[in-house]
Amino acid sequence: MPDSMPVWAWILVTALSSSGFMAFAGRLADRWLARDHAVVRRGDLASELESALSASPTITGMGEKLNRDFAHMEHIDRELREFRLTQLRQCLFAHPYDQNSHQSAIESGEEYIRLGGNGVGHKRLSQLEDNYAQRVAADDWDYTHNRP
């Protein structure tokens, strides 16, 4: 601060210059905001895009095809599940011929029930587990006799 200028003058110059700067900054902000109004907002874009897509016959046709494909895939999933249950049921109800096949039948029975197998599968699994426990207790792994 120069010695020739009083303190009150410096305060006045500082206030005027800072308010002038603030006015300039305000003008810039107004211009920036005015330009920002021309920008499409995310919500507006989403609704415009949704209406354009719903009006498009190509997109509508693709959506219908996807719905048909999804229904077809659900049908295939159901068929695969039924096929898997059939495989597990065959293993579960086959007579074991050694310790390994016995363990495999028990594991198949557990998977069969986990996938929603029926009550007969529960009973067969119980029989296999009981028979396996007897064989473990007796240390009898000869499957040529005493078939369940």
- Please compute the mean of the pLDDT values over residues 100-107 and round it to a whole number: 95
Of 106, 82, 84, 83, whose CA–CA distance to 94 is shortest?
106
Q: Is residue 70 very low, low, confident or very high in pLDDT (cuts 50, 70, 90)? A: confident
Q: What is the pLDDT of residue 55?
A: 80
Q: Is pLDDT larger for residue 67 or for residue 91?
A: 91
Say how many residues make up the chain.
Answer: 148
- Which pLDDT value is given to residue 53? 75
Of 34-38, 68-72, 116-120, give the lowest mean pLDDT range: 34-38
In this structure, how many other beta carbons lie within 10 angstroms of the beta carbon of residue 72? 10
Amino acid type, 7? V
pLDDT at 116 over 60: yes
| 131 pLDDT above the threshold of 90 | yes
- pLDDT score recorded for residue 38: 59
User: What is the C-alpha to C-alpha distance for residues 97 and 103, in angstroms, rounded to an integer?
Assistant: 11
**Residue 8 above 80 pLDDT?**
no
Quote the pLDDT of residue 40.
Answer: 61
pTM of the model: 0.54
The yes-or-no verdict on residue 2 having pLDDT over 90 is no
12-69 pLDDT, tens digit each: 677 666 666 677 767 777 776 666 565 666 676 777 777 877 787 887 788 788 888 8
Average pLDDT over every residue of 83-94: 94
